[in-house]
Structure 1
């Protein structure tokens, strides 16, 4: 059976034309179904975070490893009181500043309200409050916490449009909301607040500097390891097309990068300014207008990877952007997608 599609965009929401559809979505979620919903980062595959059967459906549809915890989505701070330990005032200050928005906080778990499968049997839970008007409206209407990892097959590029969800999960999930696409295009920043100083478990649109400006304290970073992850995106290869994907560290600067691949069809992903280095027969997808436009590149990254995945390219090269705080989340996803397949940039 095909996945049901509800069309709910921001304009319809403003004019109160969505009540019946919101009721249908709530009913599906109450009965343990899973639904693709929009957020400002990527589309999420939402299910009742309290319901072990719903969480099993999320893991099963995605093919997701069971030790990879899910982020719980809420619409109000008051909901946190039901399943997290009382917050430190510094955490509350961060939430008041950045929520609703693209950041998740890992907090100590309280009680047994959430399914153990939601948190991968950890004693902590990652929580966020999305700012996408339609996603937020769904959370308000449902009024219980929703676990919602990215609505894609595990390991594949995350979806930034409902059509991407249908491509991956049609017939595997109950429904998807067709809405305005994600504006950020990369998953949320995840800040681990179970230890002090707080540590970034996954970089995202909200940077270390922005967090430190609010806290007026230093924020650390989780070092990669083989232990059970406390946040999505810490352990497994993610975001990858089916073809080999190679990052050119230091950026695409020469046609020489692409020599030695014989008759293989080459795909290239990068800023418009490096198109001149693409061989004539290569498929080139532009991520952004300039090499410094990291936000535009981030917003377009997953769509570009999905387009390449469907193309005739045999091998894909991607531009390695300059490494700085503003590009950290973008380069984190690129390295995850390549599985750290790297070649050094060459100058002409």
Structure 2
């Protein structure tokens, strides 16, 4: 199969592919998603095949408006409607109870709930409207690898496996959406993202934060709760603070192979790096770091001679919570420890 790169001017052709049951990756403000008609069971099954993703992992349903959600969700409470008014379109995914048999098991993982999102990316909203159906949209990458933030990342992983990619350039946020479970007794964040607990508290009053990894026989309510995610081939270690970069730099110099480094501009400029350090800037703050994290990991993944990657940590406040959530999964919770 030839994978076509669609421009904004070719949106109608991309929508036609989706209506025909094919897979088309699309941009959002967070990462690129792998789109398929959420009402077409055969098309959704192709998503799992293309990604190499276990089929018991539920998929997020992307919609262009709230009205579409009402066709599938059991009810939209006043609080849920307020959430949608305030945060949609945007990087907030909301888990809701479904009407009986409203969506196929292949979409929900057999659960009585589903996750809905209305992306902020205008081209994607136009694509959903043109397709005339809601779209599933897991990250458009090989399962377990860093999520794609450009069309080129998608092409690298999935060319020949999907019909097309709608290209809108690099994504804005760089980490996946916040997943908020509104089917629980107390609203619960299952995956942190750009919409933070502090953002949600004024509206909800109480918000729990739980990102547990479920067992092998359990069905996760949201993506990222069961399997290894965001991992390049090289071993990733987290460097906890500016001081820790001093022994980390010394350790790099002792290595015979090149070592990948993802650090802030300040951290990069304040020291002399060994010749075998391959350094990529994460920019100046948590916003730029989140935008560049996955792209940096992917760039090093293209260099098989790099066996180790050191990445700077950020405080767990605001967007830093989402950044650290992804980084810790990429690193398998491993932090650099000086000897």
- Establish whether TM, by shorter chain, passes 0.5: yes
**What is the CA deviation profile of residues 5-54 of structure 1, one whole-angstrom value per residue up to 9, with x for unaligned ones?**
2111xxxxxxxxx3xx3332222112211101111111110001111111
Give the corresponding residue for 1:12. Answer: none
Larger mean Cα displacement after TM superposition, 99-108 or 310-319: 310-319
In 2: Cα distance, 1:111 partner to 1:167 partner: 39
- The offset of 1:251, in angstroms, is 4.8
**What is the CA deviation profile of residues 121-169 of structure 1, one whole-angstrom value per residue up to 9, with x for unaligned ones?**
1110000000101011101111211001010001111111111110110
In structure 2, runs of 5+ residues without a counterpart are none
Give the corresponding residue for 2:44. Answer: 55
| Matched length | 331
Relative to structure 1, the CA distance from residue 91 to residue 281 in structure 2 (aligned partners, 3 Å threshold; closer, same or farther) is same
Larger mean Cα displacement after TM superposition, 50-59 or 307-316: 307-316
2:239–2:245 Cα contact (<8 Å) kept: no
Q: Residue 39 of structure 2 aligns to a residue in which SS?
A: coil
TM-score by structure 2 length? 0.93
- The offset of 1:113, in angstroms, is 3.6
Relative to structure 1, the CA distance from residue 225 to residue 179 in structure 2 (aligned partners, 3 Å threshold; closer, same or farther) is closer
2:260 to 261, 267, 284: 267
2:187 to 198, 219, 227: 198
- The offset of 1:344, in angstroms, is 4.1
Q: Residue 259 of structure 1 aligns to a residue in which SS?
A: helix
In 1: Cα distance, 2:74 partner to 2:173 partner: 30
In 2: Cα distance, 1:71 partner to 1:132 partner: 16
Q: Structure 1 runs of 4+ off > 4 angstroms?
A: none
Give the corresponding residue for 2:247. Answer: 256
Q: Residue 137 of structure 1 aligns to a residue in which SS?
A: helix
1:301 to 293, 304, 313: 293
Relative to structure 1, the CA distance from residue 344 to residue 321 in structure 2 (aligned partners, 3 Å threshold; closer, same or farther) is farther
1:271–1:286 Cα contact (<8 Å) kept: yes
Give the corresponding residue for 1:7. Answer: 7
In 2: Cα distance, 1:230 partner to 1:175 partner: 28
RMSD: 1.7
Matched, 1:285 2:277: no
- The offset of 1:252, in angstroms, is 5.8
Give the corresponding residue for 1:220. Answer: 208
Matches within 5 A, 1:4-43: 4-8=4-8, 18=9, 21-43=10-32
In structure 1, runs of 5+ residues without a counterpart are 9-17
Q: Residue 196 of structure 1 aligns to a residue in which SS?
A: coil
Relative to structure 1, the CA distance from residue 139 to residue 223 in structure 2 (aligned partners, 3 Å threshold; closer, same or farther) is closer
- The offset of 1:256, in angstroms, is 1.7
Matched, 1:242 2:233: yes
Relative to structure 1, the CA distance from residue 223 to residue 26 in structure 2 (aligned partners, 3 Å threshold; closer, same or farther) is closer
- The offset of 1:264, in angstroms, is 2.5
1:99–1:130 Cα contact (<8 Å) kept: yes
Larger mean Cα displacement after TM superposition, 200-209 or 265-274: 265-274
Q: Residue 336 of structure 2 aligns to a residue in which SS?
A: strand
Relative to structure 1, the CA distance from residue 314 to residue 115 in structure 2 (aligned partners, 3 Å threshold; closer, same or farther) is same
In 2: Cα distance, 1:73 partner to 1:219 partner: 23
Q: Residue 343 of structure 1 aligns to a residue in which SS?
A: coil
2:317 to 303, 320, 324: 324
Matches within 5 A, 1:160-239: 160-215=149-204, 217-226=205-214, 227-239=218-230
Larger mean Cα displacement after TM superposition, 173-182 or 243-252: 243-252
In 1: Cα distance, 2:58 partner to 2:20 partner: 22
In 1: Cα distance, 2:243 partner to 2:125 partner: 40
1:212–1:218 Cα contact (<8 Å) kept: yes
Q: Residue 320 of structure 2 aligns to a residue in which SS?
A: helix
Relative to structure 1, the CA distance from residue 52 to residue 252 in structure 2 (aligned partners, 3 Å threshold; closer, same or farther) is farther
In 2: Cα distance, 1:337 partner to 1:230 partner: 21
**What is the CA deviation profile of residues 148-192 of structure 1, one whole-angstrom value per residue up to 9, with x for unaligned ones?**
101000111111111111011000001111223211111000000
